[in-house]
Structure 1
Amino acid sequence: MNSIQEVIASAEQHCVDRGVRLTTKRKQVLEGLVRSESALSAYELADYCSKTFGKTMAPMSVYRILDFLEEEHLAHKLNVANKYVACSHIVCDHEHGVPQFLICGRCHKVKEVVIPKAAMTAIKKTVNEADYTLLTPKLEINCLCETCSRDAATEN
């Protein structure tokens, strides 16, 4: 597992390589996402930044920052929850497949995984055969994390 400092340093280098700036506020929002095991809303991130860094950040500013982080592939928006997570591959120096998200329906913990390209090809083919066009290949899969699954088993 990488430290927060390593992730931020990798994100900064990524931005330098692409000719964009990872400003202080962008770093603060990214840090909030990296520290959280759950997806966060812009309002939750604004609260995090206010409490952690002692400066008020308007939710609209956070939304603009999240748009930037998404555009730079440093964060992902979970459409179903309308919340955001940090990309789990920020410190990697190689390309990854299309991100897929396992979302615990109980504690809302999120894990980013990559499914085989053959699976995405099959999904796209099925969509096309149904006379639809795939707009985003990202999957958000509702499931239970190991902890919640174990807790649910002991409750029964």
Structure 2
Amino acid sequence: MDKISTIIEHAEQSCKARGRQLTSKRKLVLRALVHASKALSAYELVDYCKTHFDQSIQAMSVYRSLDFLEGEHLAHKLKVSNKYIACSHILCDHEHGIPQFLICSKCNKISEQTIDPVMITGLQSNARQEGFTVINPQLEINCVCDDCAR
């Protein structure tokens, strides 16, 4: 079994264990995100599925599938670019924590890290002192990867 099939199978079993179903459309969207290895918008996913898998899927179905995948922690929405990426921790059986994304501003390469809970507590505490409540502590940091820096 190839890596993508392993990821899809694991995601399907995880959903089933929580009483949720990874439908064929949700699998297609997740497969596209994993296969692409980069962040894609909903409309880019429509095109990607057609080009790479010869499968037609409506944008509304992609949006619904992305909402499901996000809710199941199988995909993440990058707020700055309004694009989605497959969670890099799908095959892990532990709690994933709060993601931090290092995003190359030149080639759009993305690395997903888990933020230390102490750092999140500090951010939330600082926000509270300023009169704010953190709604989503996910961090997206613009960087330049080593390949592009050369």
TM-score normalised to the size of structure 1?
Answer: 0.91
1:102 matched residue in structure 2: 102
Q: Which amino acid aligns with 1:72?
A: E
Residue 55 of structure 1: CA displacement?
Answer: 2.7
2:65 matched residue in structure 1: 65
- 4+ residue segments displaced more than 3 Å: none
1:153 matched residue in structure 2: none
2:119 matched residue in structure 1: 119
Q: Which amino acid aligns with 1:141?
A: I
The percent identity for this pair of structures is 54
Aligned 1:45-56 pairs, distance under 5 A: 45-56=45-56
Q: Which amino acid aligns with 2:141?
A: I
Q: Which amino acid aligns with 1:143?
A: C
Offset from partner CA, 1:24-75 (integer Å, 9 cap, x none): 1111110111122321000111111112232321111101110010011100
Aligned residues: 149
In structure 1, list runs of 5 or more residues that go unmatched. 151-156
1:24 matched residue in structure 2: 24
SS of the equivalent of 1:84 reads strand
Taking the aligned partners of 1:14 and 1:146, their CA distance within structure 2 comes to 35
CA RMSD of aligned residues (A): 1.2
1:84 matched residue in structure 2: 84
SS of the equivalent of 1:28 reads helix
Shift in alpha-carbon separation, 1:55–1:36, aligned structure 2, 3 A: closer
Taking the aligned partners of 1:78 and 1:42, their CA distance within structure 2 comes to 12
Residue 145 of structure 1: CA displacement?
Answer: 1.5
Q: Which amino acid aligns with 1:108?
A: N
TM-score normalised to the size of structure 2?
Answer: 0.94
SS of the equivalent of 2:140 reads strand
Taking the aligned partners of 2:121 and 2:26, their CA distance within structure 1 comes to 34
In structure 2, list runs of 5 or more residues that go unmatched. none
1:44 matched residue in structure 2: 44
